[in-house]
Amino acid sequence: MNRQLRHRLTVALDERSYDIHIGSGLLADLPALLGRAGGADALVVSNTTVGPLYGPAVVERLQTVYRKVVRIDLPDGEAHKDWTSLNRVFDRLLAESCDRRTTLFALGGGVIGDMTGFAAACYMRGVPFVQLPTTLLSQVDSSVGGKTAINHPLGKNMIGAFYQPLLVVADLATLDTLPQRELSAGLAEVIKYGPIADADFLDWIEANLDALLARDKAALAHAVKRSCEIKAWVVGQDEREGGLRAILNFGHTFGHAIEAGLGYGEWLHGEAVGCGMVMASELSARLGLMPAAFVERMRRIVERAGLPVAGPASLSPARYLELMRVDKKAEAGEIRFVVIEALGRAGMRGAPDELVAQVVEACTAR
Ligand code: NAD
Ligand code: GLY
């Protein structure tokens, strides 16, 4: 295994290009990593779990490059990814007389990253923001690529904007305090990059899964780096999801149906994606694209990562179909699935309802 512990990558998007720094202890180096990005004011947006853990050190470091540094801790959880939390950020920015040279720092997982990015896109029609992701999921996926959003009662991530950060700093040391269930959820998004883009990476994940689960820093550094490289490559070609970017949603169509069907928060997003990848692999096999052995391989990897491999018994195939028709990828009611066409290559397909129902049935614990 590559024992290198620090990596720097670039997301190439012309004038909106930015760097991703990956390594252990990087939050202490924030002033140097910011380079010329320092300025007048900074608002660190975190939550009541992560803020007390890492907020004081981040604020202290930022005080060496910003005139004024303020921190706000929002309530923790997907249920608070809403207008009320967003307005609390705006209230604080206005109360502190923050002008358009203010930089927002998202210190937390995907919920904080998505909300802070959206706040930055809106405040004074756009201020810079920096991602400081502290979950594995946010380090390998949500902090990169510029999708920002809040939830609406009628749909997850339905109100948002494409808005790229100035910089991403993924400090692997923050993963030491992450609950094991959240680590497994993040592994789902790591695993996803293998079948969709890099067969060798899937081999590597299989060989290093125990090290990843044990939070070995070199293994984590490689997993985050390779995941971000693949995501940066995809986003660099299709920033606004005109086509290719949709492959990043492998397992997500089935997964979103599980999340919505059970009620958000019952299963973690990554858990639903893990099970959704098994279903999407089964669909790929039933469409004649992949051998049955591939489905078994995916099932084993997902299970070893500590993720569910069978859908909840309470959800019928008809309910999945109903929920999947309102997915953002559905076109005029036709559900579009990310399928694996060859190991390391994904595509988009429709499928007959009966076949999808058979897939759900075959992957559900009854
Ligand atoms: P999260 O942000 O809710 O974090 C999970 C839990 O871990 C929270 O309770 C959080 O407070 C806690 N936590 C975070 N860092 C910690 C740390 N270092 N130590 C201890 N506890 C810590 O969940 P997530 O899985 O990071 O992100 C999920 C969100 O990301 C969803 O809202 C999803 O829609 C979004 N998402 C966005 C994209 C994108 O491209 N923008 C991609 C995937 C997911
Ligand atoms: N997580 C999917 C995307 O960023 O497009």
Residues 124 and 185 in one domain: no
Residues 224 and 345 in one domain: yes
* Alpha-carbon gap, residue 236 to 222, rounded angstroms: 21
Any atom of ligand 1 within 6 Å of the Cβ of 110: yes
Any atom of ligand 1 within 6 Å of the Cβ of 117: no
Cα(16) to centroid(ligand 1), Å: 24
Instruction: For residue 365, name the pLDDT band (cuts at 50, 70, 90).
Output: confident
* Alpha-carbon gap, residue 194 to 277, rounded angstroms: 11
Cα(295) to centroid(ligand 2), Å: 23
Any atom of ligand 1 within 6 Å of the Cβ of 138: yes
Does pLDDT of 2 surpass 60? no
Go through the chain and tell me how many residues it has: 366
Does pLDDT of 326 surpass 90? no
Domain count along the chain: 2
Which of the listed residues 161, 177, 193 is the one where a domain comes to its end? 177
Instruction: For residue 37, name the pLDDT band (cuts at 50, 70, 90).
Output: low
Residues 42 and 130 in one domain: yes
So what's the pLDDT on residue 38?
61
| Ligand 2: residue whose CA is nearest its atom 3 | 248
Cα(156) to centroid(ligand 1), Å: 14
The pLDDT mean for the chain works out to 95
So what's the pLDDT on residue 264?
79
Residues 164 and 215 in one domain: no
Any atom of ligand 1 within 6 Å of the Cβ of 111: yes
So what's the pLDDT on residue 5?
86
Active site residues per annotation: 125, 147, 189, 231, 241, 245, 249, 252, 256, 269
Any atom of ligand 2 within 6 Å of the Cβ of 145: yes
Which of the listed residues 143, 177, 211 is the one where a domain comes to its end? 177
The pair of structure tokens assigned to 108 is 């937390």
Instruction: For the full predicted model, state whether its pTM sits above 0.85.
Output: yes
Residues 205 and 82 in one domain: no
To test the ligand 2 pocket, which listed residue (114, 144, 147, 190) has its Cβ within 8 A of the most ligand atoms?
147
Residues 187 and 331 in one domain: yes
Q: Which atom of ligand 2 is nearest to the CA of 144?
A: 4
So what's the pLDDT on residue 3?
57
So what's the pLDDT on residue 136?
98
Cα(190) to centroid(ligand 2), Å: 12
Cα(111) to centroid(ligand 1), Å: 5
CATH number of the domain that 255 lies in? 1.20.1090.10
Any atom of ligand 2 within 6 Å of the Cβ of 156: no
Residues 195 and 118 in one domain: no
Of 26-30, 164-168, 309-313, 330-334, the range with the lowest mean pLDDT is 330-334
So what's the pLDDT on residue 303?
98
So what's the pLDDT on residue 35?
84
For the CA of 155, the nearest ligand: 1
Any atom of ligand 1 within 6 Å of the Cβ of 106: no
For the CA of 110, the nearest ligand: 1
Residues 224 and 300 in one domain: yes
Does pLDDT of 36 surpass 70? no
Q: Which domain holds residue 240?
A: 180-362
Tell me the percentage of the chain whose pLDDT exceeds 90: 90
For the CA of 113, the nearest ligand: 1
Of 20, 359, 340, 360, the C-alpha closest to 167 is: 20
Tens of pLDDT, residue by residue over 71-121, are 999 999 999 999 999 999 999 999 999 999 999 999 999 999 999 999 999
Residues 17 and 142 in one domain: yes
Any atom of ligand 2 within 6 Å of the Cβ of 329: no
Residues 73 and 113 in one domain: yes
Does pLDDT of 1 surpass 70? no
Residues 246 and 303 in one domain: yes
Cα(133) to centroid(ligand 1), Å: 8
Any atom of ligand 1 within 6 Å of the Cβ of 143: no
CATH number of the domain that 128 lies in? 3.40.50.1970
